[in-house]
Amino acid sequence: MAEEQEQMRIAINRKITQIYPKLVADSKRISGYNYGQYGEDLLAFCLAEFLTKKDLAYQYKVTITDNKLPNYMGQSMALQIKSSSSGFWHQYRKEAYNSRGIYNVEFDDVKYRPLEPVVDVPEERFDTPQFHNPSDCVEWAVSKLDYYNKKLIEEYYYNKLTFYQIHKKYNITLNSVKHDIRKAVKQLKQYCNNI
């Protein structure tokens, strides 16, 4: 029994070594422009979760029998990166998120206290050029969005792709596509609400 388990572990490790370049490429694709910040950590975290929290029979089934480890890891990385309640978020991203000014530090008695809720208004809104035509403002506002939201808006509104087509094209969950497009439209309205 122990020898059989050892053979299973060896087979799993060989398979992971064989497909590792694909897993790295998937990690780069899923992390996008944030790969330099946490892409390698994302892959390592998801592999560690798979190898330590799943039983050996399940690992063998996914990796060897079904040959589905790249699919499993891709889904796992996508979930870990998008969810603010995931283990990856708490271990790697939460600290970076908090260091962007979500918490105020009082150095005298070293207390952390949450800042007042911040209205999600882009700072550039106050420097928004004066537009008389709403379409000019929208075009300008789209150019101010981050790459991800800009791409979603372009695909949905300009290229006329459906939520489902965007989901298939970029391998983003359908609910995330809908939520993120709504969020991007809200940002556009904040830029151009005076026109």
Which residue has better confidence, 7 or 111? 7
Q: Which range in 54-68, 134-148, 167-181 is most confidently predicted, on average pLDDT?
A: 54-68
CATH number of 123-191: 1.10.10.10
Contact status, residue 102 vs residue 95, Cβ threshold 8 Å:
no
Q: What is the pLDDT of residues 56-91, one digit of tens each?
A: 999 999 999 999 999 999 888 888 888 777 888 777
Q: How many alpha carbons fall within 13 Å on the CB side of residue 155?
A: 21
- Among positive and negative, which fits the CA dihedral 38, 29, 68, 178? positive
Residue 194 has pLDDT above 90, yes or no: no
Query: For position 131, what pLDDT does the model report?
Result: 65
Q: Where are the domains of the chain?
A: 2-98, 123-191
End-to-end CA, the chain:
73
> Which residues make Cβ contacts (< 8 Å) with residue 64, sequence separation at least 6?
8, 11, 12, 15
Q: What is the mean pLDDT of residues 26-31?
A: 87
Q: Which two tokens stand for residue 158?
A: 């300009």
Q: What is the mean pLDDT of residues 33-50?
A: 85
Residue 113 has pLDDT above 60, yes or no: no
Q: What is the mean pLDDT of residues 128-153?
A: 79
Query: For position 31, what pLDDT does the model report?
Result: 83
Structural element, H or E, at residue 38? none
Rounded to whole angstroms, how far apart are CA atoms 154 and 169? 13
Confidence of residue 96 (pLDDT cuts 50, 70, 90): low
